Amino acid sequence: MRVEVGSTLWFLLRDRAAVISAGFLLSVALAAVFAPILTPYAAQGMGDPDLSRKFAAPGIEHPFGADGLGRDQVARLMFGARRSLSMGVLVVVAAIAVGTPLGVVAGYLGGWVDELLMRVTDVFLAFPPLLLAIAIAAALGASYVNAVAAIAATWWPWYARLARAQTLSVRERAYIEAARGIGVRHRVIMRRHILPNILTPIVVQGTLDVGTAILVAAGLSFIGLGTQAPYADWGVMISDGRLYFLSGRWWLSTFPGLAIFLTAMAFNFLGDGVRVAADPRLRRTL
Amino acid sequence: MTPILTIENLQVEFSTPFGAVHAIRGIDFSLARGDILGLVGETGCGKSVTGRSIMRLLDENAKVSAGRILFDGMDLLQLTDTEMRRIRGNRIAMIFQDPATSLNPLFTIGEQIKDVLRAHRGSGRGGAKALAIELLADVGLPDPAQMMSVYPHQLSGGQQQRAMIALSLAAEPDVIIADEPTTALDVTIQAQILDLLRRLQRERSISVIFITHDLGIVAETCQQVVVLYAGRVAEKGAVETILARPQHPYTRGLLAALPRPGSRGNDLRVIRGNVPSGFERIVGCAFAPRCDYVMDICRAQNPAFSVIDSTHHSACHLHEMPANG
Amino acid sequence: MVEPLIKVQDLSMQFLRKAGLFGRGGQRVRALNGLSLHVRAGETLGVVGESGCGKSTLARCVLRLLQPTAGSIRFDDVDLLALNDEDMRRMRRRMQLVLQNPFSSLNPRMNGFELVAEPLRAHRSMPRKEMRDLVVDLLTEVGLSAEFLSRHPHQLSGGQAQRIALARALALNPDLIILDEPTSALDVSVQAQIINLLVRLQRQRGLTYLFITHDLSVVQHISDRIAVMYLGKIVEETSSEDIFANPRHPYTQALLSSTPSPDPAAKRQRIILPGTVPSAANPPPGCAFHTRCPQVMEMCRARIPHSRLIAEGHRVSCHLYEASA
C-alpha cells in the first residue's frame, strides 16, 4: 500500500498538466481558506456594500473590478470559492458515500438485491442530471445545503454502478474465495476485502467529477436555487453580473466564469493524471 | 566448430521509480550450431531478459550497459533498428510461453504462415500454400490442409504452440529462442511438444536456446545447459556431466531440492534464504549468503570460471582450492 | 480400521456454461462425474490430474464453496450438504484451504497481522494483545519472525507469502487442510522449503491433508496415498510407493512417463499420448480416456469401466483389469 501510493505519486509528478492543475487548485483552496487575511476587503467579500466604489473598473486598486454594490471582485471570488469548492467536494463525497456501499452490496450479493438496485439507478439515470437536480432543489427549497443534497441525489447512481462493476471483478479474485473458505462473514468480506480494493477507480472518478459538480452547483446558484444573498458563490456572481455585461461592465461575469472554467478543467487534468499514474498499464503513455 | 551465437559479458539494467534493477550482471555463453541449449534458473535470475536482449525486445526502461551479442560476425547490439528488424523472425525467431498472445487472432494459421513464407523465402502463391501445409504436418498438427483455414482461438493450447513453432520455422531461422514454451501446458501435452522439438532438431538440425526453470526438461531435451543465478552464470557445460556431477554449490542445491521417487519420509535439501533482489549491489559471489561452503574470499571477490573439463565450467572459489585443502 | 475424516461419495458437479449473447440453451459442463474418495485422519491423500480434470472443483465442493449437483460429503460423520449456511460457516474452522498463488490469495491491502488474524476474528473473540501473541506464535511456527506483522504481500517473496497463507490456515487449529497446488507457483528451492514445512506441521499437529496438484514428483513425496483424476473421475488410487512401482491404469503410466526427470540415468521409455483432454462439456462415451489410450479395446468405447480393487488398497477403473478378473 505504501509503495503503491508512493509510485502513484512518482508517476503523477511526471505529468506536467496534473502538477500545474494541482498547484492551481491548491492556491484556490488556500485563497478560499485564508481569504479574510489575504484581502483588505474581507467585509465586502462577505457581502457588505461599499457604494463609493460602485462598478469600479479593473485597475490597480481592484484588479478584477467591483460590482454594483461596490464590492471588490477579488474578495468576492475568494469568498465565493469557499462555497463553490465546498459544494463540488461535498456533492462528490455524499454521492460516493451513498453509491459505493449500495454498489458493493449489489455486486457482491447479486440476485434480486442487485436487480432492484440496478432498476432504481436506471430510473435516476434516465433523467438529465441537471434537470433532476433543479427539480429536487426546487422541491426542497432554495439553500446551499439543499442544493448539495439535490445534486448528490442525482449523482450517487453513477458511483453505485461503478462500485458494482468493480465489485464484480474483485469478487472473482482468489483472496475472496480464500476468505470465504476461512469462514469470514459476507459483510466482513465486503468491508475488508472488496471496499479497499475498489477505492482507487472511485477516487479517480471522484476527482474528475468535482469539476463537473462545481459547474452544476454554479448552475443551480445561477438560477437562484443555491447560495443565497448576501453570500455569493461563483454561480451567483455570474448571475448578478450578466445584466451589465452588454452595458460594458464585462468584468462582473467574466472573472467568475473564468474561475469556474479553470477550476473544472484543473480537476479534470488532475483526475486524469491520477487515473494514469495509479494504473501500471497506462503509465507507459507518460 | 564456431558457435552460431555468442554472448559476452552481457549486463542489463532496468530503471524504476525505486532505483536501478540489475537484471543481468554479466553473462557469458555460446550456442553451438545444431544444439539445444537450456538456460535455467529461478525467478529473477535473468533468463528471460537474456532471451529478450538477444531479440532486442527489451522494455523501454531497460538499458544494456555492457557486453556483446555476436551472431554471424555481427554484434546485434550495434545494429540499427532496421537491420535488427531483418534479423528478427528471419534469422532468429522466438517462441513464447503463451502462444495465444503471440499468434494474431484476426488471421488464420495458414495466412500467418504464408505471410512469413512470402516475405522470407519469396515463395509464390501456390508454392507458399504447399510449403505451409508441409510445415503444419511437420509440427504434428492433425489434418494440416484443413488447419490452414483455422483461427488461433479454435486450437487447444498444445496445438497453438505447435502452430507457433511452425510459424517460427517458416523463415528457416538460424536460431530459435524458446521462452518457457511448455510451462503453460499440461504434462502430457508438454511431452508431445518436447518430443516435437527433439525430432525437429534431428531432422532440421535447428539451434535452440530453451529458457526454462525445469531441470527435468533440460535433462530430456538439451545438450548444453547454462545455470543462471542472480544475473550471472553459475555453471555451464554439457547436460549429462552437469546433471550427473554438478560442481557449483547452487546447482547441487537445486538438484537436491527436487522431490523424487523414494524421497518420501526424508526432508528435502533446502537452499536457505532468498534470491538477492535486483536492487542489491553484489560484492563477491552472488550465492555467498546462501552457500553452505562459503569462505572469506567469496564475500570479497566474484569467482572466475574454473574449467572442470573441456565441456564443463563452474564459477566457484572452491574449485581454486588445492584438492586436499 | 480408522473411520475416514472425510468421505466423498458419487460426487457430481455440473456447471451450466452460458452460450451465445443471450445465454440461452447453454452447455452442461461435467466437472465432476460420480467421484468417490476418502481421507483418513492424519494421512495425506494426493490428488493428481491435468488442467480441466476437475481437481480444483473437487476442493471447492468439499469446502462447499461450490454446491455439488449430486452425491454426498461427510466430514467427521457430519453430512456437509445438509448443513445450513451458518452451520457450514462454523464448520469451516475445522477445514482450511491453501491456494496456489499466495499473491492472489492474500488481499494486497492487508498486512501480515491482519491476514493471519482474519480467521481468528471470524470465529473467535479475544483481546487484541492475546490475538497478537497468537499471531506471532503462528508466524514463528511457519518460520517467520514478528517483523512480518506489518508487511504487505507485495513486500514478500513467494515463499514468505505462502508461509503467511499457511499461518492463516493453521490459526484455527483445523483438522483438515485442502492444499490446491500450494507449491506450483514457487521456485524449486522455495518449493522444497514449503514441502518440508508442510510435512513438519502435519507431524506436529496431526493434520490431515488433501493435496491437489498436477506434479507427480511433489505429490509422491508428501502423500500416503495418491488418487489420479481424469475428466471428473478417479481412475486409479493406491499407495504413494505403489504408484511409481506398479502403475496400472494406462493414463497413470503415461503421466509418469511424461514427467521430465532431471536424472540423466533415468532414460525410460516414453509414452506420448496423442491428442488432448476432451472437453468436459462433451465427454466421450464409455471410458472417458479411450480417445487417447494406447491400449484401447472395443468395449472401452461403449462401456464405462467400474472401479475395481485389484490389490490391497489399489483401485483401478479400467477394462483391462475387468477382463482379467
Q: What is the 3-state secondary structure (H, E, C) of chain B?
A: CCCCEEEEEEEEEEEECCEEEEEEEEEEEEECCCCEEEEECCCCCCHHHHHHHHHCCCCCCEEEEEEEEEECCEEHHHCCHHHHHHHECCCEEEECCCHHHHCCCCCCHHHHHHHHHHHHHCCCHHHHHHHHHHHHHHCCCCCHHHHCCCCHHHCCHHHHHHHHHHHHHHCCCCEEEEECCCCCCCHHHHHHHHHHHHHHHHHHCCEEEEEECCHHHHHHHCCEEEEEECCEEEEEEEHHHHHHCCCCHHHHHHHHCCCCCCCCCCCCCCCCCCCCCCCCCCCCCCCHHHCCCCCHHHHHCCCCCEEEECCEEECCHHHHCCCCC
Across the A/B interface, how many CB contacts are shorter than 8 Å?
7
* More reliable by pLDDT, C117 or C262: C117
Query: What separation, in Å, do the N-terminal and C-terminal C-alpha atoms of chain C show?
Result: 26
Q: What is the mean pLDDT of residues A125-136?
A: 90
In the structure grid, which three cell numbers stand for residue C163, read together?
Answer: 508461509
Q: What is the mean pLDDT of residues B60-88?
A: 92
Instruction: For residue B230, give how far its alpha carbon lies from the nearest alpha carbon of chain C (Å).
Output: 13
Residues from A contacting B (CB-CB < 8 Å) are 3, 6-7, 10-11, 284
Cα(C124)–Cα(C117) distance, integer angstroms:
10
Residues of B with Cβ-Cβ distance to A7 under 8 angstroms? 17-18
- Give the Å distances, CA to CA, from B197 to B39, B117, B210: 16, 21, 10
Q: Which of C65, C110, C155 sits opposite A180 (nearest CB)?
A: C65
Cβ distance C262 to B215 less than 8 Å, yes or no, reads: yes
Q: What is the mean pLDDT of residues B136-141?
A: 89
Which residue is associated with the grid cell 457581502? A47
- Listed range (A143-147, B318-322, C21-25) with the worst mean pLDDT: C21-25
In the structure grid, which three cell numbers stand for residue A117, read together?
Answer: 438496485
Positive/negative CA dihedral, C28, C30, C33, C35: negative
Q: What is the mean pLDDT of residues C240-260?
A: 92
For residue C325, name the pLDDT band (cuts at 50, 70, 90): very low
Highest mean pLDDT of the ranges A4-13, A32-41, C162-171, C185-194 = C162-171
Cβ distance B258 to C188 less than 8 Å, yes or no, reads: yes
Q: What are phi and psi of C191, to 5 degrees?
A: -55, -45
pLDDT at A3 over 90: no
Cα(B136)–Cα(B157) distance, integer angstroms:
15
* More reliable by pLDDT, C313 or A5: C313
pLDDT in tens, C38-93: 999 999 999 999 888 899 999 999 999 999 999 999 999 999 999 999 999 999 99
Q: Which residues of B84-116 are buried (b: 16+ CB within 10 A; e: fewer)?
A: beebbbebbbbbbbbbeebbeeeebbbebbbbb
* More reliable by pLDDT, B127 or B323: B127
Instruction: For residue A62, give how far its alpha carbon lies from the nearest alpha carbon of chain B (Å).
Output: 47
Query: Which chain A residue is nearest to residue C178, measuring alpha carbons?
Result: A181
pLDDT at A55 over 50: yes
Q: What is the mean pLDDT of residues C154-183?
A: 94
What per-residue confidence (pLDDT) applies to C18? Answer: 62
**Which other chains touch chain B, taking contact as 3+ CB pairs less than 8 Å apart?**
A, C
Give me the amino acid identity at C128: R
- Listed range (A41-45, A179-183, B245-249) with the worst mean pLDDT: A41-45
Cα(B101)–Cα(A112) distance, integer angstroms:
38
In chain C, positions 24-63, which contact chain B (CB-CB < 8 Å)?
50-51
In the structure grid, which three cell numbers stand for residue A230, read together?
Answer: 448576501
CB contact at 8 A, C198 and C182: yes
Which residue is associated with the grid cell 535486483? B278
- Rounded to two decimals, the pTM is 0.85
Cα(B292)–Cα(B131) distance, integer angstroms:
55
- Give the Å distances, CA to CA, from A184 to A62, C91, C102: 63, 12, 18
Across the A/C interface, how many CB contacts are shorter than 8 Å?
70
Mean pLDDT (chain C) is: 90
Query: Which chain A residue is nearest to residue C59, measuring alpha carbons?
Result: A181
Q: Which of C218, C255, C262 sits opposite B187 (nearest CB)?
A: C255
Cα(C190)–Cα(B286) distance, integer angstroms:
17
Query: Which chain A residue is nearest to residue B59, measuring alpha carbons?
Result: A284
What per-residue confidence (pLDDT) applies to C194? Answer: 94
Q: Which residues of A141-169 are buried (b: 16+ CB within 10 A; e: fewer)?
A: ebebebbbbbbbbbbbbbbbbbbbebbbe
Residues of A with Cβ-Cβ distance to B277 under 8 angstroms? none
Cα(B83)–Cα(B72) distance, integer angstroms:
13
Instruction: For residue A10, give how far its alpha carbon lies from the nearest alpha carbon of chain B (Å).
Output: 7
Positive/negative CA dihedral, B291, B295, B297, B303: negative
Mean pLDDT (chain B) is: 90
Determine how many CB atoms are found less than 10 A away from the CB of residue C22. Answer: 7
Cα(C119)–Cα(C128) distance, integer angstroms:
14
Cβ distance A284 to B60 less than 8 Å, yes or no, reads: yes
Residues from B contacting C (CB-CB < 8 Å) are 42-43, 156-159, 186-192, 194-195, 213-220, 239-240, 243-244, 253-255, 257-261, 263-264, 267-271, 274-275
pLDDT in tens, A83-97: 999 999 999 999 999
Residues, chain B: 325
Instruction: For residue C96, give how far its alpha carbon lies from the nearest alpha carbon of chain A (Å).
Output: 6
Q: In the Cβ-directed half-sphere of C86, how many Cα atoms lie within 13 Å?
A: 0
CB contact at 8 A, B92 and B177: yes
Cβ distance A6 to B60 less than 8 Å, yes or no, reads: no
pLDDT at C20 over 60: no
Q: Could you check whether the bond before residue B142 is cis, i.e. omega within 30 degrees of 0?
A: no
Residues of C with Cβ-Cβ distance to A182 under 8 angstroms? 92, 96-97, 118-119, 122, 168, 172
For residue B324, name the pLDDT band (cuts at 50, 70, 90): very low
Cβ distance B188 to C264 less than 8 Å, yes or no, reads: no
Please list the residues that pair with B127 across neighbouring strands: none
Please list the residues that pair with B93 across neighbouring strands: B176
Q: What is the mean pLDDT of residues C219-238?
A: 95
Which residues are within 8 A (CB) of B148 and not within 5 positions of it... i.e. 6 or more apart? B108, B109, B110, B129, B132, B133, B136
Q: Does B203 touch chain A (CB under 8 A)?
A: no
Residues of C with Cβ-Cβ distance to A177 under 8 angstroms? 60, 65, 97, 99, 105
pLDDT in tens, C273-310: 988 888 888 889 999 999 999 999 999 999 999 999 99
Instruction: For residue B194, give how far its alpha carbon lies from the nearest alpha carbon of chain C (Å).
Output: 10
